[in-house]
Amino acid sequence: MNKGITRTTVITVGVIAIAVGVIWVGQGMGLIPGSFMTGDTKWLIIGIIVGVVGIAVTVFGLRRPKGSRSGS
């Protein structure tokens, strides 16, 4: 498997998790109306957890080596 694609995929998944976490935090806090999640503390907590996991996954992806060059 191509390490560059895997690294990019890991970073993308992390960034998406951060975005979803931010949205859920906003809904849980009642800042984003129009959903069954609006104002529900449970979604605030879930959003924080998803956001933190997203940050960890993104940092992991950024810290991974870009891949070794063949022939070295």
Domain boundaries, the chain: 3-63
Give backbone dihedrals phi and psi of 7, rounded to 5 degrees, phi first: -65, -45
Q: Hey, what are 71's tokens?
A: 């022939």
Distance CA 2, CA 71 (A): 16
Q: For position 69, what pLDDT does the model report?
A: 45
Identify which has the larger pLDDT, 48 or 63.
Answer: 48
User: pTM of the prediction?
Assistant: 0.81
What is the distance of C-alpha 8 from the center of its chain? 13
Distance CA 54, CA 18 (A): 5
Q: For position 4, what pLDDT does the model report?
A: 62
Q: For position 48, what pLDDT does the model report?
A: 98
Note the pLDDT tens digit of each residue in 9-39.
Answer: 999 999 999 999 999 999 999 999 998 999 9
Q: Which amino acid is at 24?
A: W
